């Protein structure tokens, strides 16, 4: 980390690689080291100088012109926030929020430059497509070969793209349509993504400290700024910015819920789940149910009114009386005189 080049230099690093590739690779590797250290040793231990160097480089990387470096810087800040929450939040949140406010407005000149670049590519491709191909060289001796080479060289010269005309207008319109939605917003989306990662890692202790000090969630000015921009960002013109604002809002709500959960007292049961209701008693087996039905029906006929027809009695008699089980057959036979039937099927 001592030989870390300043992010945003854009120059070539050792070995001929562009400076942004070196910065991005170092940030990615440092993020993995921080995450591994956090997994192996819980608490505030660790290599403080190394983590401070990573944090300084990540804060600078948020403002890098290359999007991949900004993404790597956001990941590094998120990993450090999980490791040293309030400290990283106090150092990185002002820079990230300032970058968000700076890039909140659309840069039309950047979009125009990108559209012009795409238009030039389109025109150059169209000019190369209509350029005549050089004919194969003919074997005519020295004089013929020289003439052929001269003709071929004239024919092979690249045709410059037209600066005006219908083709140029069409290419410019196509270039404007091909410009991606993220062009012109500079680092707004990546800054918001870094803010969401900071809140995921450090939001809970920061909000808990603000609540313990007697203030609300917006007592921290950086939290208040994040809430204000997130609320205003849901109507942003760029859909990627709106989606990232939703991630920031999710991180805010999650951190607030976790911070409130640490302050809530335990319930009457000490946090234990409510007691389960006793299960219902088991039903008797089928043969017991049939036997009970038979005994109940045997007691019923004396209480029936005399005018009750036998058919009604048969309908009121449980079908179990016709059961063929040997234990119930004698009892079912006693029904037949009472019900006035001599059927072998009994009362049913």
Three-state DSSP at 56 gives helix
pLDDT band of residue 139 (cuts 50, 70, 90) is: very low
Beta bridge partners of 18: 12
More confident residue, 155 or 280: 280
For residues 67 and 251, which has the higher predicted lDDT (pLDDT)?
A: 251
Which residues form the domain of 60?
A: 1-83
201-259: pLDDT as tens digits: 998 888 888 888 777 767 788 888 888 888 888 888 788 888 889 999 999 989 988 88
- 142 belongs to a structural domain: no
Quick one: pLDDT at residue 200? 92
CB atoms within 10 A of CB 276: 6
Kindly state whether residue 14 falls inside one of the protein's structural domains: yes
Residue 313 lies in a domain: yes
For residue 191, being part of any structural domain is answered with no
Burial 314-343 (b: 16+ CB within 10 A, else e): beebbebbbbeeeebeebbeebbebbebee
Domain boundary among 61, 83, 105: 83
Mean pLDDT along residues 182-202: 84
42 burial level (CB within 10 Å; 0-12, 13-18, 19+): exposed
- The predicted-structure confidence for 21-61, as pLDDT tens digits, reads as follows 888 888 899 888 888 877 776 555 556 788 888 888 998 88
| Count of structural domains, the chain | 2
Query: 312 versus 105: which is more confidently predicted?
Result: 105
- Look at residues 66, 83, 100 and tell me which one is the last residue of a structural domain: 83
Does residue 10 lie within any of the structural domains? yes
Q: Check: CB of residue 55 under 8 Å from CB of residue 92.
A: yes
Last residue of a domain, one of 40, 59, 83: 83
Convert 212-221 to b/e letters by CB count within 10 Å (16 or more is b). eeeeebeebe
Question: Looking at the domain assignment, is residue 222 inside a domain?
Answer: no
Any domain includes 261? no
Q: Specify if 302 maps to a domain.
A: no
Q: How many CB atoms lie within 10 A of CB 204?
A: 20
Are 173 and 225 contacting, i.e. CB atoms less than 8 angstroms apart?
no
């Amino acid at each position: 980390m001592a030989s870390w080049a300043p992010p945003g230099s854009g120059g070539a690093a050792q070995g001929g690689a562009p400076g942004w590739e070196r910065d991005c690779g170092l940030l990615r590797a440092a993020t993995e080291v921080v995450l591994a250290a956090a997994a192996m040793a819980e608490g505030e231990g660790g290599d403080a100088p190394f983590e401070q160097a990573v944090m300084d480089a990540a804060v600078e990387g948020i403002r890098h012109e290359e999007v991949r470096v900004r993404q790597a810087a956001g990941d590094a800040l998120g990993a450090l926030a999980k490791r040293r929450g309030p400290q990283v939040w106090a150092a990185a949140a002002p820079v990230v929020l300032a970058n968000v406010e700076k890039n909140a407005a659309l840069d039309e000149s950047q979009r125009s430059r990108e559209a012009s670049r795409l238009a030039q590519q389109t025109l150059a491709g169209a000019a190369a497509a209509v350029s005549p191909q050089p004919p194969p060289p003919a074997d005519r001796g020295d004089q013929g070969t020289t003439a052929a080479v001269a003709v071929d060289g004239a024919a092979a010269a690249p045709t410059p793209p037209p600066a005006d005309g219908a083709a140029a207008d069409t290419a410019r319109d196509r270039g404007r349509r091909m410009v991606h939605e993220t062009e012109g917003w500079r680092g707004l989306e990546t800054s918001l993504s870094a803010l969401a990662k900071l809140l995921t890692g450090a939001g809970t202790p920061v909000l808990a400290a603000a609540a313990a000090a007697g203030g609300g969630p917006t007592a921290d000015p950086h939290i208040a700024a994040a809430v204000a921009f997130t609320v205003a960002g849901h109507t942003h013109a760029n859909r990627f910015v709106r989606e990232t604002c939703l991630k920031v809002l999710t991180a805010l709500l999650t951190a607030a819920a976790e911070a409130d959960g640490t302050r809530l007292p335990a319930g009457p049961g000490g946090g234990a789940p409510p007691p389960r209701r006793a299960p219902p008693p088991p039903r008797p087996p089928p043969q017991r149910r049939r036997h009970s039905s038979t005994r109940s029906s045997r007691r019923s006929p004396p209480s029936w009114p005399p005018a009750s027809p036998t058919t009604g009695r048969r309908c009121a008699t449980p079908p179990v009386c016709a059961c063929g089980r040997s234990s119930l057959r004698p009892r079912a036979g006693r029904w037949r005189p009472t019900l006035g039937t001599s059927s072998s099927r009994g009362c049913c």
